Chain A
Amino acid sequence: MKCIRQIQLLLLLIPTGPLSLVAQDCVDYHKLGDCMMDRQKGYKLYSQSKSVSMDPTDTVEFNIVFYGQKDYIFSFCTHGKLYPIHYVLLDPESDKVLYDNEKDRYIESLGIGFDVTKTLTIRVDVVARKASSEEIEEYVGCLGLLIQYRNYTRKKVNLQM
């Protein structure tokens, strides 16, 4: 009996805070976090939406295939301390920067129409303006990229070869 009591005490004493950190699951963060506030009627969720865990010293790159003749909406989200989110769209063939959200005060949502099918590299880091320097070294949070799409509503461009 004494032994059982001691085991019960042991379970009570194990701190639960660190456990929640260990078990942090970012897999579907884009379907739970702020990103969902951008959900638009008439748009479908793109399967290449992605969430990852990252800290302020990380840079993450997503190589994503976008089909032509479709409109997409990109929505980025993270935890409060990691904002603002900085992302750059790169043409993987030329490594040319096509867009940098720093010039638009780090906007978190962006619509993009693709005339033709294309792969884009989306390079993301978090500026973490509200984080202290220690937190920048140590804080790990989730970053979500929700992508929605719909077929072009405007006139189709000629795709004939």
Chain B
Amino acid sequence: MQSRPYKIWLLVLIIPALLVGGCKSNKGKRAPGLLDDSETAEIVDRIETIKQVYHLSPSPAEMLSVIDVADLSFDTGLLNPRGNMDNYLDTKSRTMGLGVYITDLAYAALFGRHEETLDYLEVVRNMAEQIRVTGAINDELIEKARKNVEYIDSLFNISNEAFINMLFFCERNDRPNTVVILSAGAFVESLYLAVNLAGDNGQTDYILQHLADQKYALDNLMTFAESMKEQDPNVAAVIEDMKPIKEIYDGITVVAGTTTVETEKTAEGQPKKLVIGGGSKPTLSKREFEKLKKNTIELRNKLISN
């Protein structure tokens, strides 16, 4: 008993020491001031010592918004039924299911489907809570959706905000593996929607090009996934799931070209503007499209039926 005060005072000394040791200290610094050019050059030379690389992919709403929905009709039959939510029992199927549902939410929002948008927002909230991605969709966001049912743009922004909130939550809580699995589910569902939209509607060529362009998003997603596979067997399983799709994209023709950069005149007060064009261009033949469609439908149906 006598030693308790001693222990407490020891803690007083140790805890601050640990805290200071765990972060960057500023001790012994000189007063900051402007450096001359030679010092600046020296600093620039020392840069490039450490390189962090981030491979990023678009949100499902952004992937789908490339498609001009003006001439297309909304097909409820393409959505993953809400009732399927209860079938997902393990982390991987729940996380991929969440990716599927958030894409369906974006699809409904893109077509300005009020009822479906609100319904799927609720599904996404429940699924997110099941995998402990909490707070991404709060009452405020749902209320905002309710109040903005008339505005397609607002619904689109809300579905995008929900996805971005999930990314932020995962990043804050050091869950990059969840981002990979969620993004894979979202990617498969947006491909599924796109291959089904690429019917005989006059936009076929445009949607085919959009599908071919998904090669870039898939490459980034798979690079990110590869960096995570050792840490999470679920990520390794997702890579396996995605293999048939990746193989199709790896096999498509990429027409070589030179990237061009032009400077465009801008109005006063606007930032400098460049226009980037040319460069290589992936293309998808009808045969490759049919193969992609078949494999995508198979994979997506496997995902939603778990």
Alpha-carbon distance between A44 and B155 when the two chains are bound, in angstroms: 13
Q: How many chain B residues have a CB neighbour from A under 8 Å?
A: 81
Which of B132-140, B202-210, B231-239 lies at the interface?
A: B202-210
Q: Chain A contacts of B44 at CB under 8 A?
A: 86, 125, 127
Alpha-carbon distance between A25 and B271 when the two chains are bound, in angstroms: 28
A2 at the A/B interface (Cβ < 8 Å)?
yes
- In the complex, are the beta carbons of A117 and B5 less than 8 A apart? no
Closest residue on chain A to residue B280 by CB atoms: A93
Alpha-carbon distance between A28 and B22 when the two chains are bound, in angstroms: 23
- In the complex, are the beta carbons of A111 and B53 less than 8 A apart? no
- In the complex, are the beta carbons of B277 and A116 less than 8 A apart? yes
Alpha-carbon distance between A139 and B27 when the two chains are bound, in angstroms: 11
Asked whether A113 and B276 contact (CB < 8 A) given A59-B51, A62-B56, the answer is yes
Other-chain residue from B23, B213, B272 in contact with A68 (beta carbon distance below 8 A): B213
Main secondary structure, interface of B, reads: mixed
Interface string of A52-69 (1 = CB under 8 A from B): 101111111111110110
- In the complex, are the beta carbons of A67 and B272 less than 8 A apart? no
Alpha-carbon distance between A133 and B26 when the two chains are bound, in angstroms: 11
- In the complex, are the beta carbons of A58 and B50 less than 8 A apart? yes
In chain A between 112 and 156, which residues have their CB closer than 8 angstroms to a CB of chain B?
112-120, 125, 127-136, 138-140
- In the complex, are the beta carbons of B29 and A132 less than 8 A apart? yes
Q: Chain A contacts of B15 at CB under 8 A?
A: 10, 14
Q: Chain A contacts of B49 at CB under 8 A?
A: 57-59
- In the complex, are the beta carbons of A109 and B271 less than 8 A apart? yes
**In angstroms, how far is the closest chain A Cβ from the Cβ of B81?**
26
In chain B between 277 and 306, which residues have their CB closer than 8 angstroms to a CB of chain A?
277-281, 283-284
- In the complex, are the beta carbons of B271 and A60 less than 8 A apart? no
Main secondary structure, interface of A, reads: mixed
A39 at the A/B interface (Cβ < 8 Å)?
no
The residue among A3, A98, A117 with the most chain B CB atoms within 10 A of its own CB is: A117
- In the complex, are the beta carbons of B32 and A10 less than 8 A apart? no
Interface string of B57-84 (1 = CB under 8 A from A): 1110110001000000000000000000
**In angstroms, how far is the closest chain A Cβ from the Cβ of B302?**
26
Asked whether A57 and B208 contact (CB < 8 A) given A22-B19, A63-B56, A116-B281, the answer is no
Interface string of B195-216 (1 = CB under 8 A from A): 0000000000110110011001
Alpha-carbon distance between A118 and B276 when the two chains are bound, in angstroms: 9
Alpha-carbon distance between A9 and B40 when the two chains are bound, in angstroms: 46
Asked whether A10 and B12 contact (CB < 8 A) given A107-B272, A119-B219, A159-B209, the answer is yes
In chain A between 55 and 97, which residues have their CB closer than 8 angstroms to a CB of chain B?
55-65, 67-68, 71, 73, 81, 86, 91, 93-94, 96
Asked whether A58 and B52 contact (CB < 8 A) given A65-B216, A81-B32, A125-B47, the answer is yes
- In the complex, are the beta carbons of B16 and A15 less than 8 A apart? yes
A1 at the A/B interface (Cβ < 8 Å)?
no
Which of B89-97, B110-118, B159-167, B243-251 lies at the interface?
A: B159-167
Closest residue on chain B to residue A16 by CB atoms: B19
- In the complex, are the beta carbons of A112 and B276 less than 8 A apart? yes
Alpha-carbon distance between A160 and B208 when the two chains are bound, in angstroms: 9
Alpha-carbon distance between A96 and B48 when the two chains are bound, in angstroms: 17
Q: Chain A contacts of B164 at CB under 8 A?
A: 45, 47
Could you list 9 further interchain pairs (A-B, Cβ under 8 angstroms) beyond the known A25-B172, A96-B259? A3-B5, A18-B23, A59-B51, A60-B52, A63-B223, A111-B273, A134-B26, A139-B26, A159-B205
Can you list 16 residue pairs at the A/B interface with Cβ under 8 Å? A22-B19, A52-B52, A57-B50, A59-B47, A59-B50, A63-B223, A73-B271, A93-B259, A93-B280, A96-B259, A109-B272, A114-B276, A120-B276, A132-B31, A157-B277, A161-B205
